[in-house]
Amino acid sequence: MSLLEVYWRALRYLAADGKKVGLICAANVVLAIVTIAEPILFGRIIDAIAGKTEVVPTMALWASFGAFNIVAFVLVARGADRLAHARRGEVLCQSFERVITMPLAWHQQRGTSHSLHTLLRAVEALFSLWLEFMRTHLSTAVALTLLIPTAFAMDVRMSLVLIGLGALYLMIGRLVMRKTKEGQASVERHYHKVFSHVSDSVSNVAVLQSYNRIGQETESLRDYVKALITTQNPVLDWWALASAMHRLASTISMMVVLLIGAYLVTQGQLRIGDIVAFTGFAALLISRLDQVSNFANQIFDARSKLEEFYRLEDTAADHREPEGLRELENVTGHVRFENVSFEFPNSGQGVSDVSFEVSAGQTVAIVGPTGAGKTTLINLLQRVHAPEHGRILIDGIDTRSVTKKSLRHSIATVFQDAGMLNRSIEANIRVGRASASYEEVHAAASAAAAQDFILSKSEGYDTNVGERGGQLSGGERQRIAIARAILKSAPILVLDEATSALDVETENRVKDAIDMLRDGRTTFIIAHRLSTVRDADLVVFMDHGRVVEMGGFGELSARNGRFASLLRAGGLLNDEEVRRVTHVEAAA
């Protein structure tokens, strides 16, 4: 993107407050006109003094303009500051919502720290551009637009010097931006690496402390910072050179204005007041050109931050749900997979031609080795991914024809990682249903066998669980997650390895809560521990993305296939049990 494209898109975010921005812009135009008038009036004052004519009215007008300029600038700056801060907060919230709405695959590919860093740095860059636009950019543009024709109207020869000064500033700026374009983009990439390393290390601080990796990680950060500084220094050198060249050009231009003016005064072609006015014009032009240079530097620095942010925004827009999708309502829980296939890009992994049906209220267990496609299948049910072939029906309705919000409203999930937010216990339970009453929250906690341990805490339901639930035990986290699912009261329940990380005693307590939760709900259980699937109405055994076996627990045990082999390997099935199950199946 060009600098103007980057800048124009940044200003488009101000459209939401168009009226306020319009008032500030109008005030900037008035300020620019006053700024041009001040040196002209000052020149008239000098002429009046030199000619011994009446000076008080002109001086009073000049002083009034100066006072107005000061008051108006303060008011414009105040309005601009408030508006820029308000827009920063709003854009941050809107972009945050878009980012967390993006598919999980997108987050996994980009990394959480990269998205977070892009968002925060871009919002700060936008804030600076908005603030400077409303404070200086517009008034500078208007002042320069008025300055040149006004100067030409007074004297063409002196004006040409000002034009030459402007051209020099432009040439220097273009040269420096061309020399530092790649370097600035590289600097931004190094910033991402530094931020990613810090975020990754802090997130895994327990592992780093356990393995005494503090020194090594700090040294790695120093290496990243050193690479950043090494990349940044040449960019800084070029802009320092540009500043020196700007200062030299402005000094020479001012000397030329004075020399030419002095000559023209001695020849009787100009008045002293005109020289004073042109000197004021030159000083004004230099200050405005410095602002333009700073503006170009600011845009140039912001481009590397904003281009990535704009791509993020465009990607979010591409993933926006189409209009006209229906709401999924009054769900009973009848689910059917019809020849469903999906493959992750460049991996060969996924699921292929999966078909099965679950009646409302039944429990289906999806089992198989790691990488078999179990979680992928459940993610397809929740439209984390969309099937490439086939379809998934809930109560006879294709899940692709309904909104994601209504689909996920019908599904409650308990993950292996309970997913605790750094908030109170009550707030974590209310994730299931924010509008629930206090009594409903307590009832959900009681049903999840969590009430006793919650009330034993010093602050009860107001106890903060810490980052990722670090202040709670594994069993306590899982019971809060179950309470959350109970509170949601969705007709379809997904248990994704919900008890695999727990010890046997804790698992038994949590299992009782899960059994209560499953009652009357269509339930999908993903499990490595085959002992957790005995009560399933249907067992789907998967491997390499395909359904290998499917049937009831007893049926698959008697079939003596892959599922039975896993049961034997886990000590859950022996030959005597196989004969017993086979006899029961035959009798049935």
Q: Are 377 and 351 in contact (CB under 8 A)?
A: yes
Q: Is the dihedral of CA 554, 559, 565, 566 positive or negative?
A: negative
Assess if CATH 1.20.1560.10 describes domain 1-154+302-320. yes
| 335-551 shares the fold of 1-154+302-320 | no
Summarised one tens digit per residue, pLDDT across range 354-390 is 899 999 888 898 888 878 888 888 888 888 888 889 9
Q: Are 114 and 192 in contact (CB under 8 A)?
A: yes
CA atoms within 13 A on the CB side of 432: 26
Residue 272, number of CB atoms within 10 A of its CB = 16
Q: Is the pLDDT of residue 174 over 70?
A: yes
pLDDT at residue 510, rounded to an integer: 67
Summarised one tens digit per residue, pLDDT across range 476-491 is 888 888 888 888 888 8
Please classify residue 406 by burial: count the beta carbons closer than 10 Å to its beta carbon, then call 0-12 exposed, 13-18 middle and 19+ buried: middle
Q: Is the pLDDT of residue 318 over 70?
A: no
Give the integer Cα–Cα distance in Å for 231 and 229.
5
pLDDT at residue 473, rounded to an integer: 82
Q: Are 9 and 310 in contact (CB under 8 A)?
A: yes
Summarised one tens digit per residue, pLDDT across range 388-426 is 899 999 998 998 888 888 888 888 888 877 788 888 999
pLDDT at residue 105, rounded to an integer: 66
Summarised one tens digit per residue, pLDDT across range 530-547 is 666 777 888 888 888 888
Q: 388-392 long-range CB contacts below 8 Å, 24 or more apart?
A: 388/341, 388/342, 388/343, 389/339, 389/340, 389/341, 389/342, 389/353, 390/337, 390/338, 390/339, 390/340, 390/341, 390/353, 390/354, 390/355, 391/338, 391/339, 391/340, 392/335, 392/336, 392/337, 392/338, 392/340
Position 350, amino acid? G
Percent of the chain at pLDDT exceeding 90: 3
Residue 326 DSSP SS3: strand
Domain borders along the chain are 1-154+302-320, 156-269, 335-551
The verdict on pTM exceeding 0.95 is no
pLDDT at residue 482, rounded to an integer: 85
**Average pLDDT of the residues in 167-181:** 75
Assess if CATH 3.40.50.300 describes domain 335-551. yes
Q: Is the pLDDT of residue 579 over 60?
A: no
